[in-house]
Amino acid sequence: MTSLPCLSLSRGRWLLRPVWKRRFFTAYKTQASKVTVETDNFKHQQADRPTFKDFLNKLHSEKNATSVRHDDIEEAHPYINEDSEMGSKRKVYFETYGCQMNVSDTEVAWSFLQKKGYQRTTDLGQADVILLVTCSVREKAEKTIWNRLQQLVTLKKKRPTSLPPLKIGILGCMAERLKTDLLEREKLLDVLAGPDAYRDLPRLLSLAEGGQQAVNVLLSLEETYADVIPVHVHSQAKTAFVSIMRGCDNMCSYCIVPFTRGRERSRPVASILQEVRMLSDQVGIFKFISV
């Protein structure tokens, strides 16, 4: 169907313009005006709503209002009876492999278990719980742990039925790096805890007592155990390792530390000074080695 032409004036001359072009430009102007009105209405509505800055300010205020130190309140686990996390004088045997940081970690882990009523023993035959604080810096260190696990699993199988079942746990770097292999190869392994999960040890051991394999190998961006005073076993020693930071950001091609201990976090200076003063006043240690 052919549209009827219409006359329009251009540069002093009358031109023929089809009707459909006139209608098109009229509809375009109408639609453009509608879009402009809708855009203005949307901007007006958004002006009255909270901005991203308001969200950040609210989040900051809520964080300050609910920030509580770990030693003031402990995380509750509704699916676990609080009494079940108590050690009930069960004896714990530690074996520490690797660097000075693992020695410090052993003292941190023991401080959490001691608060829950566990007892520490240096006699492997009397232990109810055996925890290996492991190292993954070299392959030889890992082979040593694998061989030791075979011996401990044999000891677990031979344990008299009159005694509570023996629980075996792997802590530290090897638990973080080889978590899947450890669980698949050692079916009798009870607990796996990474370097940032020592605070969770009582709960993990409680789950293990129920017959489960308990695992926590989550790395933290904040955990420094700043509120924990490590329990130094050798009271006669005059030297102590004091942790000042955890993790590493250097990502050296030959080093496993960033992958097993996470990102670098510095311990607060006040916490370091508190531990040093305590060791100096109560234990009599006069030489401190930062790790």
Q: What is the tens place of the pLDDT at every residue in 167-182?
A: 999 999 999 999 888 8
CATH 3.40.50.12160, domain 82-290, yes or no:
yes
Q: What is the dihedral of CA 228, 210, 133, 78, to 10 degrees?
A: -30
Quick one: pLDDT band at residue 186, thresholds 50, 70, 90?
confident
Q: Give the pLDDT band (50/70/90) at residue 36.
A: confident
Predicted TM-score (pTM) of the model is: 0.69
Q: Scan for tokens 């695992």, then name that residue.
A: 215
* pLDDT, mean of residues 228-234: 74
Domain boundaries of the chain, sorted by first residue: 5-47, 82-290
**Which of these, 143, 144, 109, 147, lies nearest to 129 by C-alpha position?**
109
Counting every residue written for the chain, the total comes to: 291
Task: Please name the residues in contact with 224: beta carbons below 8 A apart, sequence gap of 6 or more.
Answer: 243, 245, 246, 265, 266, 267, 268, 271
- 194 exposure class (CB count in 10 Å sphere: 0-12, 13-18, 19+): buried
